[in-house]
Each structure stands twice: as structure tokens, then as C-alpha cells.
Structure 1
Amino acid sequence: MESDYESDDRPPRRPPVPSKDPYVYTLQSNRNATSAKVCRDFVAVVLGSVGQEGLVEVATLCTSELATNAFLHAEGDSLTLRVMIEPPRFRVLVYDASAQLPTAGRLAAPDRLHGRGLGLVAALADAWGTADADPAGMYAKGIWFELHAEQKG
């Protein structure tokens, strides 16, 4: 079978030039009982694809907490997970349709059976917080955490 290109017509192969822009990966998920697993797996794959396997355990635990909170406490039928890699920062943000922000009181109650997930995120992440509505206007708020990427070298 003949190719549409003769060997002399092909452009020369060049390695891709690394982007100076942050890498952003987005996943939209139904807000249901499987959301946390889907979001966890997505974050693990993204981290593995950029050589940050050392962050997977903490990142997937924190992601699971954010996605579980969106499933249990938010409104609407979907959530959006945004993963941004801007070395040395790695940030995960979960948007949902509930405008209600988490309160510090819920984070400080170690004797409660529920409501300690954000306390885990606060303890494990390098930073965490809330975000305003997503840029597309589909969601009322976001909750995010940030880890510092491993330095290669």
C-alpha cells in the first residue's frame, strides 16, 4: 500500500517544545456515589503521566475527600474536577453547585463521626481553600488543595 506522502514530503521530526503554560486537565462527573473513585483515578493518571508518582497517595486521598463532600453535601447533578500542574505547584479543584462554604467549626470537631474530611485535607496539603464560581458559571463554588511537586534532579 502506498502512502499519501513520499518520504521527502514529510516534515522533519522535532521534539515538542515544553509549554510555559500550566498543564490543566478537566473532568466533569455526575454527582453520585462513584464520583470520588472516578476523580481519584483521574488525578492518579494525571500525576503518573507527568512523572509525579510520589504525590499520588496524598493527592488521591485529598481528591477523594473533596469529591465525597460534593456528593454528600452539594446540589445539582454534576461536579467538575480541575487539575492544574504549574511546577512546582500541583492543584486540584472540585467545583459543585452549592454556594454553602465549609465552616471552620466543622473542621475543628475531632469527636464527630462525619465532617472531618477537610481536616485531613488541611493536614496533608501544602495549602487549601475555597474558590468563587467556575469561569463558565455552571457551579457556585470550588474547594481546592495544593501540593508541591517533587523536584527532579
Structure 2
Amino acid sequence: MCEPRAVVLKAHPESIKKARDFVVDAISPWGIDPDVAALVISELATNAIVHAEGDTIIVRAARNVDASVSLETWDKDPRRGPAVRRADLDDTAGRGLFLVESLVRSWGVRPLADDAGKVVFAILDPD
């Protein structure tokens, strides 16, 4: 794995664009579709900001040894992470992780030690 890049952002809706811009810049030399990466991190960051407790989130990007890329959001909320749900046609929200799941190799949630929060991650393959 190459040296991961990370940024701490306020848990505020304006930070979603900052998360996108950060990730697109971080992954630019790694052969990952920037539009896919931007969409994925937008959904992960939105979930962390809207649903998790805490005043900051961490957004992290790392290139793995197999040339895939890990995108992560870290938050301070130890509660179980997000789950894919099937939204009804007239729902105005709830499709984000369904979309993420269709674009990435895998995604998941892992707890941080001592109930300090959780990491939600997605693994993207190079083009």
C-alpha cells in the first residue's frame, strides 16, 4: 500500500464537496475513474455527516498493493454502520449505498478500537 492520504473535515454538509475534491486529487495518479470515486466518497461522506455523531469526519484514500484504491470515511459514532436498502420509486433518499454497491468491488464497515467510532470503506478497481 502506498502512503495513504487523509483529511479531517467538519461534519457539515459543505464538507461533502471538500471530500470529493480531496479524493479526486488524491486518486488522480492511480488510474481510478474520478467521477466514480467522487460519487462514492460523496455517498460515504454524506452518510457519515447526516447519520453519525461527532463534529468531524476523516476522509482517507489509499492505493492498495493490487492497484485497487480504498476510500474511507472515519467517524466517532460507534453504532453500527449503514446498510443498503431498496428505496421505493417515490422515495427522495435511500439510494446512495445501493449505487455505491453497484460501482465498487466491495464495501463495508469496521469498528474502531474501544468504541471510538467506525470506518466505512469502499474498494475501487482501476480502469
TM-score normalised to structure 2 length: 0.87
**Contact 1:95–1:139, Cα closer than 8 Å, also in 2:** no
- Could you tell me how far 1:22 is from its partner in structure 2? 2.3
Show the 5 A alignment for 1:90-129.
90-98=69-77, 99-104=79-84, 107-111=85-89, 112-129=91-108
C-alpha deviation, 1:51, in angstroms: 4.6
Asked whether 1:30 is paired with 2:31, we answer: no
Task: Output the aligned Cα RMSD.
Answer: 1.9
- 3-state DSSP of counterpart to 1:146: strand
Distance in 2 (alpha carbons) for counterparts of 1:51 and 1:122: 21
* Residue matched to 2:26: 46
Letter of the structure 2 residue corresponding to residue 143 of structure 1: V
**Counterpart position of 1:63:** 41
- Residues 44-89 of structure 1 show CA distances to partners (whole Å, capped at 9, x for unaligned) of 10122x252x510101000001111111111110000111102421
What are the ranges of 5 or more consecutive residues in structure 2 without an aligned counterpart?
Answer: none
Structure number, greater radius of gyration:
1
Q: Secondary structure of 2:101's partner?
A: helix
Query: Percent identical across equivalent pairs?
Result: 29
Structure 1 residue runs without a partner (length 5+): 1-20
Q: CA deviation at 1:41?
A: 0.3
Change (3 A) 1:88 1:116: same
Counterpart Cα distance in 2 of 1:121 and 1:51: 19
Of the three residues 141, 149, 152, the one matched with 2:118 is: 141
> What amino acid maps onto 2:98 in structure 1?
G
Instruction: Report the number of matched residues.
Output: 124
Quick one: higher RCO (CA 8 Å, sep 6+), 1 or 2? 2
